[in-house]
Amino acid sequence: MSSTNIQLPSAEDLLQTIAQKLQPLLQTNLALVGIQSGGVWLMERLLVLLENDIKTNAIEHGTLDVSFYRDDFVSRGLKAENRPSQIPFEVENKHIILIDDVFYTGRTTRAAMNELFDYGRPASITLVALINRGGRELPIAPQLTAMDIALDASQNLQLIQDAEGKLSLQLISSITQTNQVEL
Amino acid sequence: MNNPQLDADGRLRHLLSIEGLPKKILNQILDTAESFVGVAEREVKKVPLLRGKTVCNLFFENSTRTRTTFEIAAKRLSADVISLNVNTSSQSKGETILDTVDNLIAMHADMFVVRHAQSGAAHFIAKHVPNHIHVINAGDGRHSHPTQGLLDTFTIRKYKSDLHNLRVAIVGDVLHSRVARSEIHALTTLGVPEVRVIAPKTLLPAQVEKLGVHVFHDMKAGLKDVDVVMMLRLQNERMNGAMLPSAQEYFKTYGLTQEKLSLAKPDAIVLHPGPMNRGVEIDSSVADGSQSVILPQVTYGIAVRMAVMAILAGGG
């Protein structure tokens, strides 16, 4: 593995873009749901930005860890670390904004939607991703992104959070290409 | 030492006893169970992890709670479950254990949950099955009942956040109890600094202190300032000969009453693996009282058993 020298955008700037694009979508009966871990960091930051902007009461929100719904459980097993999903609101008839950091194959989204439906029948789900890196393998795409780029399958784009909560992007290229699909 | 529970990479392959399992694996099971607790509170209490797998409950000895919670756990993981009460089936016609197991493998069972009155029965089956099949010990003789030890530890962790400053007392028939052995190994491996056993000499195994526990014969001294009281069932069915004067006499000396419980810390919790003998090892007012976490133990038992099955099926 080695870090490449591609100039990556600032994740903090992209976050502001997403917040602006989300504003017109805000409506009553809405909830934000972040997918572990990057989507949850984004969701927490977006909550602060949006609640400041619209001066409204707290927006309902929750988190999903899709470990139990992944389609590669048989080949890869459970991650050593998984966190409880927390959906502390009624999903039934709610407009859900599903938040992920990097959109790639669409498999994580598939898993997250399946899990959400086990909580109830939402009125709608809108997928928001900080970056769409291309390479989807399912008929699923984010409705809202801050940036679209095309990355090679050997490249792995990750959102990271430092000790102060600041977000940044990291691109890792594996020298030997594997057949494993990153969710 | 070859540990039949782990594969060559140190991942969990079978769950046969707590003894010999590293702290890392115990924590992995307990942390994963944490994620499964929430599943039971949802509209759909199921996750698709074990879809297409067949779990076979092989009970050579009676059980209601353990068999039912294993069955619910497997079903909540979307597995197909077969529960066999072998006492009433082919064993009584003379079939050997391994023939029963081989027949179930021929029916494409993927996992066995085994309870047997003989210590070592689950090990015996684990040694016999092909690589892709996993075995969980649901209690073998006096030896081990690992998921009970884990669910008790999980329950303690839910009520007492830090295991590293706890004083825990295990009270009663330690001699016949596979539960006690599993609890002791789980608690000491996870770093509980003081584990006490409280019992008459006749109900303690020889050299029990070698397991790293402090021995008390006087219940009042043993309960002083403990954070957790783990009661054991008096196992009349495993006793031959006179180990006790009478059940009434036992209750007087070792039964948990409100009065004796008041010697423990005011926020102490009381556990019991069930089934309870009310008025023998525990007074009803304690069993149903505010410090009792006996029913939460049952609920958490499902999450812990789901975690064990999910980790095994996922190759550790």
Q: What is the CATH number of the domain that holds A79?
A: 3.40.50.2020
- The ranges assigned to domains in chain B are 23-144+300-313, 146-297
Dist CA B114 CA B314 (whole Å): 20
Please give the residue that has the higher pLDDT: either B259 or B247.
Answer: B259
Q: In the Cβ-directed half-sphere of B175, how many Cα atoms lie within 13 Å? A: 18
Homologous superfamily assigned to B146-297: Aspartate/ornithine carbamoyltransferase (3.40.50.1370)
What's the CA angle centered on A101, arms A98 and A103, to 5 degrees? 85
Model confidence pLDDT, tens digit, residues B5-40: 999 889 999 999 999 999 999 999 999 999 999 999
Model confidence pLDDT, tens digit, residues B275-288: 999 999 999 999 99
Dist CA B180 CA B188 (whole Å): 12
Full DSSP string of B169-206 = EEES--TT-HHHHHHHHHHHHTT-SEEEEE--GGGS-T
Dist CA B285 CA B97 (whole Å): 43
Interface test with A, best of B47, B76, B157, B300 (most A CBs within 10 A): B47
Dist CA B18 CA B30 (whole Å): 13
Q: Is residue A179 part of a domain?
A: no
Which pLDDT score is estimated for B109? 96
Is A68 close to B310, i.e. CB distance below 8 A? yes
Q: Please indicate if any CB of chain B lies within 8 Å of the CB of A72.
A: no
Q: Please indicate if any CB of chain A lies within 8 Å of the CB of B34.
A: yes
- Is B312 a residue whose pLDDT tops 80? yes
SS3 of B118, please?
coil
In this structure, whether the domain defined by B23-144+300-313 belongs to CATH 3.30.70.100 is answered with: no
* Mean pLDDT (chain B, rounded): 93
| Distance of alpha carbon B296 from the chain centroid | 14
Identity of the residue numbered B168: V
Model confidence pLDDT, tens digit, residues B83-96: 988 876 666 677 88
Q: Residue B305: name the closest of B86, B111, B105 by CA.
A: B111
Mean pLDDT across B215-243 = 88
Range of the domain at A76: 2-173
Which pLDDT score is estimated for B3? 82
Which pLDDT score is estimated for A177? 47
* CB-count exposure of residue B160 (10 Å: 0-12, 13-18, 19+): middle
Dist CA A70 CA B57 (whole Å): 26
Which pLDDT score is estimated for B240? 62
Long-range contacts, A77-80 (Cβ 8 Å, 24+): A77/B311, A77/B313, A77/B314, A77/B315, A77/B316, A78/B32, A78/B310, A78/B311, A78/B314, A80/B28
Let me know if the fold of B23-144+300-313 is the same as that of B146-297.
Answer: yes
Q: Is residue A6 part of a domain?
A: yes
Which pLDDT score is estimated for A27? 84
Q: Is residue A160 part of a domain?
A: yes
Radius of gyration for the alpha carbons in chain B, expressed in angstroms and rounded? 19
Distance from CA of B17 to the nearest CA of A (A): 21
Query: Which residues is B245 bridged to in the sheet?
Result: none
Query: Chain A contacts of B37, Cβ < 8 Å?
Result: 84
Which stretches in chain A have pLDDT values below 70?
A: 1-6, 53-57, 175-183
What's the CA angle centered on A151, arms A148 and A154, to 5 degrees? 155
Strands (E), A52-106: 60-64, 95-103
Q: Is residue A157 part of a domain?
A: yes
Place of tokens 């930051």: A45
Q: Residue A102: name the closest of A49, A168, A177 by CA.
A: A168
Q: Please indicate if any CB of chain B lies within 8 Å of the CB of A90.
A: no
DSSP for residue B237 = G
Is A73 close to B44, i.e. CB distance below 8 A? no
Which pLDDT score is estimated for B48? 95
Is A68 close to B315, i.e. CB distance below 8 A? no
- Count of CB contacts below 8 A, A vs B? 51
Dist CA B232 CA B197 (whole Å): 11
- Is B313 a residue whose pLDDT tops 90? yes
C-alpha dihedral over B41, B35, B156, B4, to 10 degrees? 130
Dist CA A57 CA A37 (whole Å): 25
Dist CA A72 CA A76 (whole Å): 6
Q: Please indicate if any CB of chain B lies within 8 Å of the CB of A77.
A: yes
Instruction: Say how many domains are in chain A.
Output: 1
Model confidence pLDDT, tens digit, residues B70-128: 999 999 999 999 998 887 666 667 788 999 999 999 999 999 999 999 999 999 999 99
Structure pTM? 0.90
Distance from CA of B301 to the nearest CA of A (A): 17
Which pLDDT score is estimated for B129? 96
Mean pLDDT across B195-220 = 95
Task: Please state the ipTM of this predicted complex.
Answer: 0.81
Under a CB-based contact definition with an 8 Å cutoff, are residues A85 and A69 in contact? no
Query: Is the four-CA dihedral A67, A68, A72, A73 of positive or negative sign?
Result: positive
First to last CA, chain A: 18
Model confidence pLDDT, tens digit, residues A11-64: 999 999 999 999 988 888 999 999 999 999 999 999 999 887 655 568 999 999
Percent of chain B with pLDDT over 70: 96
Is B31 close to A77, i.e. CB distance below 8 A? no
Is B38 close to A83, i.e. CB distance below 8 A? no
Dist CA B281 CA B200 (whole Å): 13
